[in-house]
Amino acid sequence: MWMSYIQPSVTVMTDDLLRMESIVKTFPGVIANDHVDLTVRRGEIHGLLGENGAGKSTLMKVLYGLYAPDEGTIRFDGEPLRLDRPQDAIDAGIGMVHQHFKLIPRLSVTENIVLGSREPAAPFRQENLGDGPLATLRSSGPVQAVASRFSLGLDRPKRRISDLADQYGFDIDVSAPVRELDVGQRQRVEILKALYRDVDLLILDEPTAVLTPVEAERLFETLERLVDDGLSVILITHKLKEVKSVTDRVTVLREGEDIGTVETATVDRSELARMMVGRDVLFEIDKPDTTVGEPVLEATGVSAIDDRGVDKLSSVDVRVDAGEIVGIAGVSGNGQKQLAETVAGVRDPTAGTIEISGQELADAPPEEFVAQGVSFVPEDRHEHGCAGDLSVMHNAVMKDFRDEQFGDSVLFDYGSVGDFASELVDDFDVRGVSDVTANCAKDLSGGNLQKLILARELARDPELLVANQPTRGIDVGAIEFVRERLLEQRNRGTGVLLFSEDLDELFDLSDRLLVIYEGEIVLRTTPEETTREQVSVEMNGGGDAQVAVADADPADAATRRAADGGRSEQ
């Protein structure tokens, strides 16, 4: 209990708004926080940096009252703080925006924000009662008690929320249902929810994990305005560029331990990376030349709709040869998701053909794509990449459980499956797994779950790997690991179709580049023949690039590429 380790003391007034001292939090078999210290000053943006699974989110959940620490003390605004639940943190002036938003889609923005802090219904507010009998009843309590129980009374909070949105430049209709908002707008609703409760400290847990670069820039501008108005912000992240661009100081955690706190301006990315992972990290990876082979993917005239029936792809042609990485660049929402799912066999095209190693599969079920050697790393690892409630072992073999190495057609050899899963965990450095049969996929951190999914897909030695945002939301060490594995697979002869919103990643890894805009391929090029500026312009629909005409003879990939400089495409 908290009372066993909070020491009574007098209030101490300093520039420190928050002091967390020697925080310890353990789970069965795991020390998530090992005597961690964290100090946040008034009016600063403080970065909390570390690899996936380093203990960042756990520490903040302790601060927000979601977890009770095993040891340690917390002082807020100079006074000891006891937190038994999130409401205690909110009452103290601490707000938190979680990585996975806590919103109800069918309710409006205003309704989501005021949930948990009811306002009196308009007819029963004191200012609307005058001196009549209702005013007397109100003062005695029963009418107001009934009204406040059964009505949210949204007029006044709606005006206040609109004012807050205008003050911080949030372009949000506060009457709109949350389900109609894009992901960036939903995040701003979460921030508004905290501001509505007049917090002094705002915690943001991996806030850019689901944002486009443009949305991330808008978020950082908002944070600067919040700090100018007197708030303090804790930014939980593993992205070094974000830390360098927006924070004043940064505390680094590694494997649950506090490595230290530094002034951001005094360190560079390499030093921060070394603090995070305990070694030097390569930001640029050598990409050796390889010999490409026959096409493993030939998609011609592919069109597709999204889940709402809206056209998202319009007669797209894509070819990937064995032993090459073809990068797809585009701003989120321009058809990348539908293209990835269509060529991976999990979304039916409305038109066009899809050949995998010469086999036409456009109308085939997903298992036919799997049998033909297609592996898929989806954009959303939690919803589409794993079965969260199943064990790490089951997730490791879910595409190949019928393989004879795991038993015959009747009996499942759990021993062989467990050994196989353990080997993948070790080979891909999937942390947080003490028992592959007991630990569930949903209990892994984002980066470690991504490595498990990648391990499963690459262990199949696929003909074609469709990788949609494979490094989104993972730390710098895991990014280095994933990129190296993609290049290794390419060097082994796999064709890789890589979707990414990170232009540096696309330029570093891709042999050829395609730009998609509003469901159409608007540029075909190579990293050597273009610039990031040109690709960025095309991504936003501002270019006039000409798409090269496909060669008549698709058989000789090497000859074709030499003849047209890598631009032609089937």
DSSP string computed for 179-248? GGS-HHHHHHHHHHHHHHTT-SEEEEESTTTT--HHHHHHHHHHHHHHHHTT-EEEEEE--HHHHHHH-S
* Spatial separation of the C-alpha atoms in residues 417 and 414, rounded to whole Å: 5
Q: Where are the alpha helices (DSSP H) in 398-458?
A: 414-427, 446-458
Contact 324, 511 (CB under 8 A): yes
Contact 271, 264 (CB under 8 A): no
Contact 481, 496 (CB under 8 A): no
What pLDDT score does 408 carry? Answer: 62
User: Domains plus CATH for the chain?
Assistant: 2-93+199-277 (3.40.50.300), 282-373+462-570 (3.40.50.300), 388-459 (no CATH)
Give the residues of the chain that fall short of pLDDT 50. 1-13, 118-130, 132-151, 545-570
* SS3 assignment, position 501: coil
Lookup result for tokens 């690039």: 545
What pLDDT score does 477 carry? Answer: 74
The token pair that represents 330 in the structure block: 């585009």
**Strand 295-305, strand 311-321: pairing:** antiparallel
What pLDDT score does 549 carry? Answer: 34
CA atoms in the 13 A half-sphere facing the CB of 13:
0
* Spatial separation of the C-alpha atoms in residues 532 and 327, rounded to whole Å: 13
* Spatial separation of the C-alpha atoms in residues 83 and 66, rounded to whole Å: 8
Q: Where are the alpha helices (DSSP H) in 229-314?
A: 240-246, 269-277
* Spatial separation of the C-alpha atoms in residues 233 and 191, rounded to whole Å: 11
What pLDDT score does 103 carry? Answer: 87
**Strand 512-517, strand 351-356: pairing:** unpaired
What pLDDT score does 506 carry? Answer: 93
What pLDDT score does 212 carry? Answer: 66
